[in-house]
Chains A and B, each alone.
Chain A
Amino acid sequence: MNTTRRTVLKGATASGVLAGLIATGALRPTQVLAAEWNKAAFESKDATAALKGIGAAAATESKDLVIKVPDIAENGAVVPVDVTSNIPNTSSIVIMVVRNPFPLSAQFDFANGALPEVSARLKLNETSMVRALAKADGKFYSVQKEVKVTVGGCGG
Protein backbone atom coordinates (compact mmCIF):
# COMPACT_ATOMS: atom_id res chain seq x y z
CA MET A 1 0.00 0.00 0.00
CA ASN A 2 1.26 3.41 -0.89
CA THR A 3 1.19 5.27 2.41
CA THR A 4 2.07 8.60 0.89
CA ARG A 5 -0.97 8.38 -1.34
CA ARG A 6 -3.16 7.47 1.62
CA THR A 7 -1.91 10.44 3.58
CA VAL A 8 -2.56 12.73 0.69
CA LEU A 9 -6.07 11.32 0.28
CA LYS A 10 -6.94 11.63 3.93
CA GLY A 11 -5.98 15.26 3.97
CA ALA A 12 -7.48 15.83 0.59
CA THR A 13 -10.13 18.34 1.50
CA ALA A 14 -7.48 20.57 0.05
CA SER A 15 -8.77 19.20 -3.21
CA GLY A 16 -6.41 21.32 -5.24
CA VAL A 17 -3.66 18.89 -4.32
CA LEU A 18 -5.79 15.97 -5.45
CA ALA A 19 -6.85 17.61 -8.69
CA GLY A 20 -3.22 18.29 -9.41
CA LEU A 21 -2.32 14.66 -8.91
CA ILE A 22 -5.14 13.52 -11.16
CA ALA A 23 -4.17 15.97 -13.83
CA THR A 24 -0.59 14.74 -13.86
CA GLY A 25 -1.81 11.17 -14.08
CA ALA A 26 -0.18 10.26 -10.77
CA LEU A 27 -3.60 9.23 -9.54
CA ARG A 28 -6.42 7.89 -11.61
CA PRO A 29 -9.91 8.82 -10.46
CA THR A 30 -10.87 5.16 -10.14
CA GLN A 31 -8.11 4.54 -7.65
CA VAL A 32 -9.27 7.39 -5.52
CA LEU A 33 -12.59 5.66 -5.08
CA ALA A 34 -11.29 2.39 -3.63
CA ALA A 35 -12.68 1.76 -0.16
CA GLU A 36 -10.56 1.28 2.91
CA TRP A 37 -10.39 -2.45 3.66
CA ASN A 38 -12.16 -3.23 6.93
CA LYS A 39 -9.30 -5.17 8.48
CA ALA A 40 -10.90 -5.75 11.88
CA ALA A 41 -14.05 -7.26 10.37
CA PHE A 42 -12.28 -9.34 7.74
CA GLU A 43 -9.86 -10.77 10.29
CA SER A 44 -12.59 -11.69 12.78
CA LYS A 45 -12.57 -15.39 13.46
CA ASP A 46 -16.24 -15.86 14.24
CA ALA A 47 -19.42 -14.61 12.64
CA THR A 48 -20.56 -12.62 15.68
CA ALA A 49 -17.35 -10.61 15.78
CA ALA A 50 -17.45 -10.11 12.02
CA LEU A 51 -21.03 -8.82 12.23
CA LYS A 52 -19.99 -6.41 14.95
CA GLY A 53 -17.05 -5.34 12.80
CA ILE A 54 -19.33 -4.16 10.02
CA GLY A 55 -21.81 -2.60 12.43
CA ALA A 56 -24.44 -5.28 11.84
CA ALA A 57 -24.66 -6.82 15.31
CA ALA A 58 -28.42 -6.22 15.34
CA ALA A 59 -29.54 -7.51 11.95
CA THR A 60 -33.19 -8.45 11.37
CA GLU A 61 -34.20 -11.53 9.38
CA SER A 62 -35.86 -10.51 6.14
CA LYS A 63 -37.72 -12.37 3.41
CA ASP A 64 -37.05 -9.49 1.06
CA LEU A 65 -33.43 -10.47 0.93
CA VAL A 66 -32.91 -13.42 -1.40
CA ILE A 67 -29.88 -15.68 -1.39
CA LYS A 68 -29.32 -18.29 -4.06
CA VAL A 69 -26.74 -20.98 -3.29
CA PRO A 70 -26.58 -24.69 -4.13
CA ASP A 71 -27.87 -27.13 -1.48
CA ILE A 72 -24.77 -29.19 -2.18
CA ALA A 73 -21.63 -27.64 -3.59
CA GLU A 74 -20.06 -29.45 -6.52
CA ASN A 75 -16.74 -28.13 -5.26
CA GLY A 76 -16.24 -26.27 -1.99
CA ALA A 77 -13.49 -24.20 -3.64
CA VAL A 78 -15.96 -22.54 -6.01
CA VAL A 79 -19.45 -22.07 -4.60
CA PRO A 80 -21.69 -19.71 -6.58
CA VAL A 81 -23.56 -17.23 -4.38
CA ASP A 82 -26.19 -14.81 -5.71
CA VAL A 83 -27.74 -12.20 -3.46
CA THR A 84 -30.61 -9.89 -4.40
CA SER A 85 -32.14 -7.36 -2.07
CA ASN A 86 -35.75 -6.25 -2.55
CA ILE A 87 -35.48 -3.98 0.47
CA PRO A 88 -35.91 -0.33 -0.56
CA ASN A 89 -32.83 1.88 -0.35
CA THR A 90 -30.40 -1.01 -0.02
CA SER A 91 -26.95 0.53 -0.15
CA SER A 92 -24.74 -2.49 0.71
CA ILE A 93 -24.71 -6.26 0.52
CA VAL A 94 -22.43 -8.35 2.72
CA ILE A 95 -21.72 -12.08 2.36
CA MET A 96 -20.47 -14.32 5.15
CA VAL A 97 -19.60 -17.99 5.34
CA VAL A 98 -20.38 -18.69 8.97
CA ARG A 99 -18.05 -21.66 9.48
CA ASN A 100 -15.07 -20.38 7.50
CA PRO A 101 -11.94 -19.55 9.55
CA PHE A 102 -12.57 -15.90 8.60
CA PRO A 103 -16.35 -15.70 8.08
CA LEU A 104 -16.60 -12.31 6.35
CA SER A 105 -16.16 -12.87 2.60
CA ALA A 106 -17.20 -9.72 0.81
CA GLN A 107 -18.94 -6.39 1.12
CA PHE A 108 -20.31 -4.43 -1.80
CA ASP A 109 -21.50 -0.82 -1.57
CA PHE A 110 -23.78 0.37 -4.34
CA ALA A 111 -24.34 3.83 -5.82
CA ASN A 112 -25.37 5.69 -8.97
CA GLY A 113 -27.97 3.28 -10.32
CA ALA A 114 -26.39 -0.04 -9.30
CA LEU A 115 -29.06 -2.58 -8.41
CA PRO A 116 -28.67 -4.15 -4.95
CA GLU A 117 -27.73 -7.46 -6.40
CA VAL A 118 -24.45 -9.36 -6.77
CA SER A 119 -23.13 -12.74 -7.82
CA ALA A 120 -19.80 -14.10 -6.60
CA ARG A 121 -18.02 -17.41 -6.04
CA LEU A 122 -16.68 -18.31 -2.64
CA LYS A 123 -14.60 -20.95 -0.92
CA LEU A 124 -16.34 -22.99 1.73
CA ASN A 125 -14.03 -24.75 4.11
CA GLU A 126 -16.78 -27.13 5.20
CA THR A 127 -20.56 -27.43 5.24
CA SER A 128 -21.80 -24.06 6.45
CA MET A 129 -24.52 -21.50 6.59
CA VAL A 130 -23.93 -18.79 4.01
CA ARG A 131 -25.36 -15.52 5.31
CA ALA A 132 -26.20 -12.45 3.30
CA LEU A 133 -26.84 -9.06 4.85
CA ALA A 134 -28.29 -5.95 3.33
CA LYS A 135 -27.91 -2.45 4.67
CA ALA A 136 -30.80 -0.09 4.00
CA ASP A 137 -31.38 3.30 5.60
CA GLY A 138 -28.71 2.49 8.17
CA LYS A 139 -30.32 -0.81 9.26
CA PHE A 140 -29.10 -4.35 8.56
CA TYR A 141 -31.25 -7.23 7.33
CA SER A 142 -30.15 -10.84 6.94
CA VAL A 143 -30.96 -14.19 5.41
CA GLN A 144 -29.05 -17.46 5.44
CA LYS A 145 -29.00 -20.82 3.73
CA GLU A 146 -26.94 -23.94 4.29
CA VAL A 147 -24.54 -25.30 1.68
CA LYS A 148 -23.24 -28.84 2.06
CA VAL A 149 -19.67 -29.45 1.04
CA THR A 150 -18.72 -32.98 0.08
CA VAL A 151 -15.60 -34.76 -1.04
CA GLY A 152 -15.75 -35.23 -4.77
CA GLY A 153 -14.42 -37.69 -7.28
CA CYS A 154 -11.16 -37.45 -9.15
CA GLY A 155 -10.11 -36.67 -12.73
CA GLY A 156 -13.26 -34.73 -13.44
Chain B
Amino acid sequence: MADPMKIRATMKGDVAEIRVLMSHPMESGLRKDAAGNAVPAHFIQSMAVEVGGKKIVDGQLAGSVSRNPVFGFKMKGAKAGDKVVVNWVDSKGDKRTDEAAIA
Protein backbone atom coordinates (compact mmCIF):
# COMPACT_ATOMS: atom_id res chain seq x y z
CA MET B 1 0.00 0.00 0.00
CA ALA B 2 1.48 3.26 -1.09
CA ASP B 3 2.11 5.97 1.48
CA PRO B 4 0.01 9.15 1.43
CA MET B 5 0.98 12.19 -0.62
CA LYS B 6 1.47 15.60 0.89
CA ILE B 7 -0.53 18.24 -0.91
CA ARG B 8 -0.19 21.94 -0.19
CA ALA B 9 -2.50 24.35 -1.95
CA THR B 10 -2.50 28.07 -1.23
CA MET B 11 -3.96 31.18 -2.83
CA LYS B 12 -1.39 33.81 -3.84
CA GLY B 13 -3.52 36.66 -5.11
CA ASP B 14 -5.83 35.15 -7.71
CA VAL B 15 -3.50 32.23 -8.42
CA ALA B 16 -3.73 28.92 -6.60
CA GLU B 17 -0.34 27.30 -6.07
CA ILE B 18 -0.44 23.55 -5.73
CA ARG B 19 2.55 21.61 -4.49
CA VAL B 20 2.49 17.82 -4.38
CA LEU B 21 4.97 15.46 -2.71
CA MET B 22 4.61 11.78 -3.58
CA SER B 23 6.12 8.82 -1.80
CA HIS B 24 7.44 6.53 -4.51
CA PRO B 25 10.75 4.77 -5.37
CA MET B 26 10.56 5.79 -9.05
CA GLU B 27 12.84 2.98 -10.14
CA SER B 28 13.76 3.48 -13.78
CA GLY B 29 14.73 -0.14 -14.35
CA LEU B 30 18.22 1.04 -15.30
CA ARG B 31 19.78 0.99 -11.86
CA LYS B 32 21.75 -1.73 -10.12
CA ASP B 33 21.59 -2.28 -6.38
CA ALA B 34 24.59 -2.56 -4.05
CA ALA B 35 24.95 -6.26 -4.90
CA GLY B 36 25.04 -5.51 -8.64
CA ASN B 37 21.56 -6.84 -9.40
CA ALA B 38 19.31 -4.88 -11.73
CA VAL B 39 16.49 -3.16 -9.87
CA PRO B 40 13.25 -3.70 -11.83
CA ALA B 41 11.36 -0.71 -13.17
CA HIS B 42 8.68 0.65 -10.86
CA PHE B 43 7.57 4.20 -11.39
CA ILE B 44 4.50 6.40 -11.53
CA GLN B 45 3.25 6.58 -15.10
CA SER B 46 0.27 8.83 -14.86
CA MET B 47 -1.08 11.40 -12.49
CA ALA B 48 -3.92 13.90 -12.46
CA VAL B 49 -4.82 16.98 -10.45
CA GLU B 50 -8.43 17.98 -10.00
CA VAL B 51 -9.61 21.21 -8.40
CA GLY B 52 -13.23 21.84 -7.47
CA GLY B 53 -14.26 18.74 -9.37
CA LYS B 54 -12.51 19.71 -12.61
CA LYS B 55 -9.33 18.18 -13.93
CA ILE B 56 -6.64 20.82 -14.37
CA VAL B 57 -3.55 18.70 -15.00
CA ASP B 58 -3.09 15.35 -16.63
CA GLY B 59 0.48 14.11 -16.36
CA GLN B 60 2.50 11.25 -17.80
CA LEU B 61 5.81 10.42 -16.20
CA ALA B 62 8.95 8.39 -16.86
CA GLY B 63 11.30 6.60 -14.47
CA SER B 64 13.65 9.57 -14.80
CA VAL B 65 11.47 11.61 -12.45
CA SER B 66 13.32 11.72 -9.11
CA ARG B 67 12.50 9.34 -6.29
CA ASN B 68 9.77 10.76 -4.03
CA PRO B 69 8.54 13.13 -6.74
CA VAL B 70 7.80 16.80 -6.17
CA PHE B 71 5.56 18.80 -8.51
CA GLY B 72 4.34 22.37 -8.55
CA PHE B 73 1.34 23.63 -10.53
CA LYS B 74 -0.62 26.88 -10.69
CA MET B 75 -4.14 27.75 -11.70
CA LYS B 76 -6.54 30.65 -11.97
CA GLY B 77 -10.21 30.53 -11.14
CA ALA B 78 -9.90 28.60 -7.89
CA LYS B 79 -10.69 29.90 -4.44
CA ALA B 80 -9.83 29.10 -0.84
CA GLY B 81 -11.72 26.05 0.35
CA ASP B 82 -11.81 24.36 -3.08
CA LYS B 83 -10.98 20.70 -2.92
CA VAL B 84 -7.78 19.52 -4.59
CA VAL B 85 -7.61 15.85 -5.51
CA VAL B 86 -4.42 14.26 -6.80
CA ASN B 87 -4.06 10.71 -7.99
CA TRP B 88 -1.41 8.56 -9.58
CA VAL B 89 -1.07 5.12 -11.11
CA ASP B 90 2.28 3.38 -11.37
CA SER B 91 3.81 0.82 -13.71
CA LYS B 92 2.68 -2.04 -11.47
CA GLY B 93 -0.89 -0.79 -11.37
CA ASP B 94 -0.60 0.48 -7.80
CA LYS B 95 -2.49 3.70 -7.25
CA ARG B 96 -3.05 6.37 -4.71
CA THR B 97 -5.53 9.24 -4.31
CA ASP B 98 -5.22 12.05 -1.77
CA GLU B 99 -6.91 15.35 -1.27
CA ALA B 100 -6.54 18.72 0.42
CA ALA B 101 -8.37 22.03 0.52
CA ILE B 102 -6.94 25.26 -0.86
CA ALA B 103 -5.88 27.48 2.03
Contacts and interface: CB of A to CB of B under 8 A. Distances in A.
B76 interface: yes
B49 to A, nearest CB: 8
B25 interface: no
B56 A120 contact: no
Interface residues of B, number: 41
Contacts of B95: 31
B93 A1 contact: yes
Contacts of B64: 97, 100, 102, 105, 122-123, 125
B63 to A, nearest CB: 7
Contacts, number: 130
B48 A33 contact: yes
A76 B71 CA distance: 17
B54 A112 contact: yes
B23 interface: no
Interface string A24-60: 0000111101111110001000000000000000000
Contacts of B30: 101
B59 A107 contact: yes
Given A112-B77, A113-B77, A113-B78, A118 B62 contact: no
A111 B51 CA distance: 11
Contacts of A106: 59-62, 65
A34 B48 contact: yes
A14 interface: no
A121 B61 contact: no
Interface in B49-103: 49-51, 53-67, 69-78, 85, 87, 89, 93, 95, 97
Interface of B: 15, 28, 30, 45-51, 53-67, 69-78, 85, 87, 89, 93, 95, 97
A-B pairs, top 8 by smallest CB distance, nearest first, are: A113-B77, A119-B72, A114-B56, A121-B66, A112-B54, A115-B74, A37-B45, A109-B58
Interface of A: 1-2, 28-31, 33-38, 42, 77-79, 82, 97, 100-102, 104-115, 117-123, 125
21 contacts: A2-B93, A28-B87, A31-B95, A33-B55, A34-B48, A34-B58, A34-B87, A35-B48, A37-B46, A104-B62, A105-B65, A108-B57, A111-B56, A111-B58, A114-B57, A119-B70, A120-B65, A120-B69, A122-B64, A122-B65, A122-B66
